[in-house]
Amino acid sequence: FLTTQYLEEADELADRIAVLNGGRIVAEGTAEQLKRQIPGGHVRLRFTDPHAYRSASDALREATGDEEALTLQIANDGSQRALRTLLDRLDAAGVDADELTVHTPDLDDVFFALTGSGKNPTVPAPSKETVR
């Protein structure tokens, strides 16, 4: 049995995790099971060439762009198939990104999504508990 506030530690050490909110268990399972429940995975593309950025933005209309930073963010689960599809679309548009990063939900994302932490200041601060 391990109790921790450090979700990175829980991810690494725990076989099973229980998330508490207001003294009640709101979710439990393996770290991977909990992470799969939460949407929010995405791919971030960074460009150094404004023309390449605009071409990629045109090819990936569903992407959220930051023209100043020359970055695009696209909802994506990070799976091999999803990444291949994204890269095929960029290839078809003749665009090369200078950097590609994949974000998949972590236990912090899980905790905040399950507890609504930070959204309602009248709710008691939730606790994080890890069961091993």
Give the pLDDT confidence of 25-49 residue by residue, as tens digits: 999 999 999 988 888 889 999 999 9
**Interstrand relation of 24-29 and 42-46 (parallel, antiparallel or unpaired):** unpaired
Residue 122: phi, psi to the nearest 5? -85, -15
SS3 95: coil
pLDDT at 132: 41
The two three-digit tokens of residue 88, written as one number: 């095929």
pLDDT at 126: 41
Among 32, 39, 3, 9, residue whose Cα is nearest residue 112: 39
Helix (H) or strand (E) holding 96: none
pLDDT, greater one: 53 or 105: 53
HSE toward the beta carbon, residue 68, CA cutoff 13 A: 0
Secondary-structure class of domain 42-103 per CATH: alpha beta
* pLDDT tens, residue by residue, 59-107: 999 999 999 999 999 999 888 999 999 999 999 999 999 999 999 889 9
The two three-digit tokens of residue 51, written as one number: 């023309």
Domain ranges, ordered by start, for the chain? 7-37+106-131, 42-103
